[in-house]
Structure 1
Amino acid sequence: MAANQSQPVMNKESKTMSELIEMQNVSLKAAEMVEEGRVHKSLYSDPEIFEEELDKVFNNTWVYVGHESEVPEAGCYKTAWIGRQPVILSRDRKMNLHVLQNRCRHRGATVCEGRKGKTKSFTCPYHGWGYGLDGALRALPKPEEYEGVFDKKDFPLESLRVETYQGLVFATYRDDIESLEDFLGGAKKWIDLFMKQGGGYPLKVLGEHRFNFPGNWKIQLENTTDAYHFPIIHKSFVTSLDDATADIFDFLHGDGFVEDLGNGHSVMVMIPELVDLEADLDQPIPARFEKLAEELRAEGKPEDEVKKLVRAAHGTGFNLNLFPNVSCSMAFFRVLRPVSVGETEIQHVALGGEGAPAPFNRKRMRLHEHFQGPMGFGTPDDGEAWERVHKGAQSGQDGWILVNRGLNNLHESKDGNVAGAVCSETGMRGAYRQYQKMMAAGEEK
C-alpha cells in the first residue's frame, strides 16, 4: 500500500491527509516516494522496495567494508557485507588489499566464516577447493578430473574493485563509476579532520560490538545527523556527565550546523571548537582532564604531546555520515548492514592510536563504553527509538515521514554547500536525494 505522490502541498484550506492519499494495491516506485521535505513510510516497510535497494544502492556504489588497521599484516582478513552479499577483506603476501566475494566458485559455499583473523589461504569446507589471499584458485582435490574441463586461473573468487582513503576501505561491484575520492568529494575534508583523533598516532580499531534492531536501515541512516533528538532521548547520558562536559553537549542553541556534502554525505557540527583537534593547543588543559595528563606525563611524554593526546582522547565535535553505510561519529565508526526490510545490524567500532600510550587508548575505550558500549547510555536509547519509528510506520493513514525541519532557513557554507542549523534535517534530505537518484536509475522517463 502506498500513496499517490501527485498531490499538492497541504495548507489550511486543503483536505485532510487521509482524504488526499489514494491508497493503491501496488507500490509506487521508490524514487517517487521521496519529496524535498518528506518521504513515504513505505520506504521503511515495503519488502519489494528493500530488495530493489540492495541492487540499486548497495550493488551500485562504494560501500565501506573495513579499516586498514583491521588487516595490518600479510595473511590478515576480516569478513564484511555489501548489502546482503558476504565479502572478505584480505591482505596478500605483497601487502595488497583485496575484497573478495565470499563464495566458492564450485558449488557456492562460503569459504570463510571467521569475523577476522590470519590465514594462508581460504578453503571451501564442502569440497576442499583452496584459494589464495588474492582469490586465485590454488588447489582442488582430484585435479585430474578437471583436465580439459577448465583452467584454474579462470575460476578465482570474484574480486571487487577496492580503493582506500585515510585508511577507510571501500569496495564496489562497479568498474564504471567514479573513483572513491570523487565519490567522497566534500566529505574528504571532514575525514581528514576525524583522523586527527589518533593524537598524532595512526588511527587504529581497538574493538567492536554488534547488535541487531528491528527496523529499516534508513532509520539509522537518518539518526547520525539528527541533533534534534539528542537532549531528549539522551538525557540520561547528559546527566551522567560532569557539569562542564554537560554544558558542552548543550549544543542546540550554539553555533553548530549541518552541511550537505553531496553524494548523500553530510556532516553535523555540534561543538565547533572541537572540529580541528590540533587547533589552539596552547590553551591550558581543563582540570577535569588533568588525571589523564598526569598519566601521560608519567609515560615520559613531553607537554606538547600531552596536550595533543588529551585533546584527541575525547573525540571530535562532529558526526560525519558517508552514504550509504558508515558514519564517523564523534569518536567511533558506526557501520550499518541491511538484513531485511525490518531488521538492521549495527557495528560500533572503538578507535584509538596505533602505538599510542596505554592511558590514551584506555581512555578511548572507557569513552566508547560510556556511550556506545552494550551497557552504555547511548546505544539502548537510540535502539529503542529506531524500533519505535519502524513500529509506528506500520500504522495510520497518513503515509508521510517529515524531514523538512529548517527547510526555509538554509545558508551557504564556507565550502559552498547547502547548510542549516545544527537541529535542521539538512543531512537527511541530502541522503534521500542520493537515494532517490540511485533508485530512479534505469527507470523509464
Structure 2
Amino acid sequence: MTIEAQHIVADAPADLVLGDRVAGRLYTDPEIFEQEMTKIFERTWVWVAHESEVPKAGSFKMTHVGRQPVIVVRNRKGVINTLLNRCRHRGASVCEKPKGEANGFTCPYHAWSYSLDGQLRGIPYPEGYEGVMDKSGMSLRKLRTASYGGMVFATFNEDIEPLEDFLGDVKLWIDRFMKQGGGYPIKVLGKHQFKFKGNWKVQLENTTDGYHFPIVHRSWMASVDEETADMMSFMTDPECTTHALGNGHSVMQMVPEHSDLDADDGTEPLQARFDDLVAQLKSAGLDDAAVRRLVRAMHGTGFNLNLFPNVSMSAAFFRVLRPVSVDETWIEHIAIGPDGPPEVVDPVNRARLRVHEHFQGPFGFGTPDDAEGWDRVQRGAQGAPEMPIMVNRGLAREKDSPEGWPTSHVTDETGMRGAYAMWKAMMSDD
C-alpha cells in the first residue's frame, strides 16, 4: 500500500478513526478539540476526586470537568457534590483555593453566598431584586455526581447511564487496585502537576502502551535493583496482556502475579530493599501476614487501569489528564497509600512516596522521559496531518478472553483501539 493510500481524508471527525489507525489531525485540529470538549467531556462521567480528598463536611477541592472549573465538596450530610465554580450573578469564580475546608462559598465580587449544596444563601442589599428574581432558582449549577470504590465522578449529562453501568467490568479492577492498602483504606498522600505541549489523547494512549516501556524508561530500569527490573521485564512474557474492557476503558497487566494482591501463595520473597520497613512494622506489633500484605504492595498492583476519558489507576498512583487546548494538557500524578494507625501507615507511606518520587515528578527517572515522548509526538504530528497514527500492533493476534474482553499481548495496542472506538462513538453522536 502506498503512503498516499494510507492517508485518512474525511470531513466528519468520527470518520478520521478507523479500526487500525487514526488521522494525525486528531492531535492538531482546534475544531475537533472544541467538539471533544462538548461531545465527550461534557457528556460522559469524568473523574474529579478520591473520597479521601474530601473526608469531612466542608472539605473541598477545586478541579475541572474538561475545561469547566468545578468544586468537589462534601456537605453536612456527608454527600459529595460537584458544583460549577461560577457565581450566578456576574460569572466570577466563588473559590480559588485548590483545597481546604469551608462553611460555604462567597463570591468576592458582590458577596453572593452559597451553601455547601450550592444553594444561594444570601444577597447583599436584596431590595433591588424584589419582584425580579426568585432566589431559589439561582443556585450554583450542580453536576450529577456518583462514586465507586472511593473514586468520585461527575457529569453535566443528566441523562447518562448510571456510573456503575458506565464502568462495567472496570469495577473488578478498581476493587483489585484498592487492595494495595494492605487491609486499610486508600488515601491520597499528595500530588504534583505539570503540563506538556501536546494533545490529551497522546497521554490517554500512554498508560496502556507497554511497547514503549523498556525503550523510553531505560534510565529507570538501570536505576532500580535487579528484583524490580526483573518484575518489570514483561516484553516477551506471554502471560502479560492488555484487555479492552468496554466504554473506552482498558487494563494493561505488566505483573500478572500482582493483579490480585490477595492471591499470594507466600512463596514470593519480599524485596531486600524493604528490610528496614519490615522491621519497623514488626516493631509496631504486626504479624508476618500483615507485614507481608503491606510490603508486597509497595509497588502497587501489577497493572495500569485506564478509565476513559481522563484518569488512570497506574500501578501505585492516579494519573489525571486535563485538556487545556488542542496542543496543551495538564497532568496530575497523585500518590496514594494506606490510611490507618500512624505507627503502621506512616513508615509505609514514607517508603511509598520515595518509590513514587523515583519514577514520577521532575526529578524522577520516568516522567521527564514520558513527557519528552509526548512533546515529540505533537511536534511530529504537525507534519502531514492526514497521515495516520498507527494503532494496529497485535491486531492479528487479538482474541477474546473468557470474560469476553478483546485481549492481546501487553505490548499491543488493544487498549488504544478500545479508547478510539469509544471516541468515535461519542463524536458520532449528535
**Shared fold (TM-score, shorter chain, > 0.5):** yes
Cα RMSD after superposing both structures: 1.3
Counterpart for residue 319 of structure 1: 304
The corresponding residue for 1:97 is 80
Aligned to 1:108: 91
Amino acid paired to 2:33: F
Q: Is the 8 A contact 2:72 2:82 kept in 1?
A: yes
Q: 2:396 aligns with which of 401, 408, 413?
A: 408
Whole-Å Cα distance in 1 between the matches of residues 203 and 291 of structure 2?
36
TM-aligned CA deviation for residue 132 of structure 1: 0.5
Q: How far does residue 410 in structure 1 lie from its aligned partner after superposition?
A: 1.1
1:429 aligned partner, one-letter code = R
Partner residue, 1:305: 290
Partner Cα separation in structure 1 for residue 379 and residue 271 of structure 2: 44
Q: 1:20 to 1:237 in 2, by over 3 A?
A: closer
Is the Cα contact below 8 Å between 1:199 and 1:313 reproduced in 2? no
1:364 matches 2:348: no
The answer to whether the aligner puts 1:169 opposite 2:155 as a matched pair is: no
Partner of 1:279: 263
Question: Are 1:267 and 2:251 an aligned pair?
Answer: yes
Residues 71/425 of structure 1: CA separation in 2 closer, same or farther (3 Å cut): same
- The equivalent of 1:439 in structure 2 is 427
Task: Name stretches of at least 5 consecutive residues in structure 1 with no aligned partner.
Answer: 1-9, 11-15
- Residues 1:330 and 2:318 aligned together: no
Contact 2:256 2:302 in 1 (8 A): yes
Shift of residue 396, structure 1, vs aligned partner: 3.5
- How far did 1:414 drift? 2.9
Contact 1:17/1:398, CA 8 A, preserved across alignment: no
Q: Give yes or no for the alignment of 1:194 onto 2:184.
A: no
Aligned residues: 425
Mapping for residues 244-255 of structure 1, pairs under 5 Å: 244-254=227-237, 255=239
Distance 1:418 1:56 in 2: 25
Deviations 1:314-353 (A, max 9, x none): 2111000000000000000000000000000000000011
- 1:175 maps to a residue whose letter is E
Distance across 1 between alignment mates of 2:252 and 2:195 = 25
Rounded to whole Å, the distance in 1 between the matches of 2:369 and 2:308 is 23
Displacement after TM superposition at 1:140 (Å): 1.1
Moved more, 173-182 or 287-296: 287-296
TM-score w.r.t. structure 1 length?
Answer: 0.93
Q: Which residue of the partner structure matches residue 256 of structure 1?
A: 240
- Aligned residue for 2:169, secondary structure, equals helix
For 2:87 and 2:327, locate their aligned partners in 1 and report how far apart those are by CA, in whole Å.
29
- Cα contact 1:77–1:117 (8 A) shared by 2: yes
Q: Classify 1:20/1:413 alpha carbon distance in 2 versus 1 (closer, same or farther; 3 Å).
A: closer
CA distance in 2, matches of 1:243, 1:357: 26
Match of 2:339 among 354, 359, 378: 354
**1:142-201, Cα deviation, whole Å (9 max, x unpaired):** 012111121211100000100000000000111111100000001111000000011111
Distance 1:380 1:117 in 2: 30
Query: What secondary structure, in the 3-state scheme, does the structure 1 residue paired with 2:192 have?
Result: strand
Decide which moves more: 138-147 or 36-45.
138-147
Matched, 1:72 2:55: yes
Identity %: 57
Rounded Cα–Cα distance in structure 1 between residues aligned with 2:323 and 2:284: 44
- 1:123 partner letter: T
Residue 291 of structure 1: CA displacement? 2.2
Q: Which residue of 2 aligns with 1:83?
A: 66
Structure 2 match to 1:7: none
* Inter-CA distance 302–20: structure 2 relative to 1 (3 Å threshold): closer
Residue 209 (structure 2) aligns with: 226
Partner in structure 1 of residue 190 of structure 2: 207
| Distance change in 2, residues 1:423/1:262 (3 Å) | same
Aligned-partner residue type, residue 16 of structure 2:
M
How far residue 287 of structure 1 moved from its aligned partner, in angstroms, is 3.2
Counterpart among 10, 14, 20 of residue 37 in structure 1 = 20
The 1:192/1:19 distance shift into structure 2, 3 A limit, reads closer
Unpaired runs of 5+ residues, structure 2, are none
Contact 2:248 2:420 in 1 (8 A): yes
**Residue 401 of structure 2 corresponds to residue 418 of structure 1:** no
Q: Residues 207 and 397 from structure 1, CA distance in 2 versus in 1: closer, same or farther, beyond 3 angstroms?
A: closer
Instruction: Give the AA of the match of 1:303.
Output: D
Match of 1:160 among 115, 138, 143: 143
